Amino acid sequence: MQYVSTRGAAPIVDFAGVVLSGLADDGGLYVPQVWPGLSMSELRSLQGRSYAEVAQRVVQLFVGDSLDSATLAGLIKDAYAGFDHPAVAPLRRIDPETWLLELFHGPTLAFKDCALQLLGRLMDHFLACEKRRMTVVAATSGDTGSAAIEACRDRSAIDIFVFHPKGRISEVQRRQMTTVMSENVHNIAIEGTFDDCQALVKQLFADEEFRTEVSLGAVNSINWARIVAQIVYYVAAGLALGAPVHRVAFSVPTGNFGDVYAGYCAARIGLPVAQLIVATNSNDILARFFDHGEYTPAEVTATMSPSMDIQVASNFERLLFDMYDGDSKEVTARMGALDQAGTFLVEQERVADKAALFVAHCVDEEGTLEAIRDTRKRAGIVVDPHTAVGIAAGRAMHQPGTVPLVCLATAHPAKFPAAVERALGAPPPDEPTIMKLFEREERYAVLENDPVIVKGYLRDHL
């Protein structure tokens, strides 16, 4: 199984290569050179199987010779053993044809665990095979840091350093990171903003000598293995609702376009998907693209669904590559235009033809609150604001009486109590995982926003 860059000028790599490299050398993203697939009968044979068994079959398609099946089975079993629901990603009905796919049963109560728990183990395995270590660095505005820490904690070939802006994240978000006492986990509060933290990470990567010295790496959202791990729950949910005989539609709260792109990949390997609803909050660049074919980032607006407050959807380049039938020159030209002119266009007929599965819908703050209220009224279920954006978009775009609609529930409501309280007049019920955080000791360093000091700290703590 080989992977090529969307920009066409990076070396071709195998699965181990994509897991360890993240971004390709030419600035592009890795995609399969030839897509694998599952036949109708193979899909039928997966019905009634456990999440781990479906994961094994789906992930194996993309692994090629990089892992034998027993090793892969061990990594998958270990990755999902810590989830607090036996189904890993259970479905819950909210009305006769609408389902919630709960993706928040992992250690940080958000869907990023579904992919990162496996990615951390895959990285650790491939590093050990090459007798290497890696230093993972990440900047977080709150949520992704904890998922990255949980993915890398106690992995023997990885050290992780996470920078958060001091005093600018919630106490729960901080405690989810700083109460992890593993030897290889290092939390750093930077005297500055999230943008300062991100700039620091960029500066570390830009220093080639330092990058090589400590073998810098990332677990960012463009890593192909994260996409693969996310394909699994689309296939599992589809099978549970009658695939491959029946089709299913999905509504996906979207930021970096990783999650909904994984839904597209599920369709490409053979799952009969009727529709992919790209649900955005007021940061509606993708809704504008699917309506007019114009991709133009605007200013980021802060909303109640902060993990979707994104204007440049990094995984979108992978769909662009497919819209141009794998022509990396067309992709490179458009990404260049985005850099230089801040915009690019794709012909509308092309979008309608090559991205026919997608529709997009933007949900504002009032619509988000209304969806939280409506879901509690209909089903007695409290949802978080990200999930609510997906439900509202699903209700707007899905044709009733056709196929089942699956709305992806990407975070536990207890992670966003303020928004839930605003909608319902009372906060969500206490969640034991979060309550326990307040009994634990915290450990983190506070550093000035200065790359020299930060580099010194990393060297001292490796």
Q: State which of residues 113, 124, 143, 150 lies at the interface with ligand PLP (CB under 6 A).
A: 143
By CB under 6 A, is residue 280 in contact with ligand PLP? Answer: no
- 112 tagged catalytic: yes
> In this chain, which of 105, 186, 318, 386 binds ligand PLP, going by CB under 6 A?
386
CB of 335 to ligand PLP, least distance (A): 18
> Closest separation between CB of residue 235 and ligand PLP, Å?
17
Q: Which residue of 253, 263, 413, 428 would you call a contact of ligand PLP, by CB under 6 A?
A: 253
CB of 319 to ligand PLP, least distance (A): 12
Which is closer to ligand PLP, CB of 126 or CB of 250? 250
Segment contacting ligand PLP by CB under 6 A, of 45-53, 104-112, 366-374, 448-456? 104-112
Instruction: Annotate each residue in 108-137 with x if it binds ligand PLP (CB under 6 A) or - if it does not, as one string.
Output: --xxx-------------------------
Q: Taking the complex as a whole, how short is the minimal distance between the CB of residue 26 and ligand PLP, in angstroms? A: 23
Residue closer to ligand PLP by CB (options 60, 221) is 221
Site residue total, ligand PLP (CB under 6 A): 17
From 4-12, 47-55, 242-250, 252-260, span contacting ligand PLP (CB under 6 A): 252-260
Q: Over the chain, what HEC string results? A: CCEEECCCCCCCECHHHHHHHCCCCCCCCEEECCCCCCCHHHHHHHCCCCHHHHHHHHHHHHHHHHCCHHHHHHHHHHHHHCCCCCCCCCEEEEECCEEEEECCCCCCCECHHHHHHHHHHHHHHHHHHCCCCEEEEEECCCHHHHHHHHHHCCCCCEEEEEEEECCCCCHHHHHHHHCCCCCCEEEEEECCCHHHHHHHHHHHHHCHHHHHHHCEECCCCCCHHHHHHHHHHHHHHHHHCCCCCCCEEEEEECCCCHHHHHHHHHHHCCCCEEEEEEEECCCCHHHHHHHHCEECCCCCCCCCCHHHCCCCCCCHHHHHHHHCCCCHHHHHHHHHHHHHHCCEECCHHHHHHHCCCEEEEECCHHHHHHHHHHHHHHHCCCCCHHHHHHHHHHHHHCCCCCCCEEEEECECHHHCHHHHHHHHCCCCCCCHHHHHHCCCCCCCEEECCCHHHHHHHHHHHC
Min dist CB 284 to ligand PLP, Å, is: 13
By annotation, the residues acting in catalysis are 112
Which residues are near ligand PLP by CB under 6 A?
Answer: 110-112, 143, 221, 253-259, 307-308, 386, 410-411
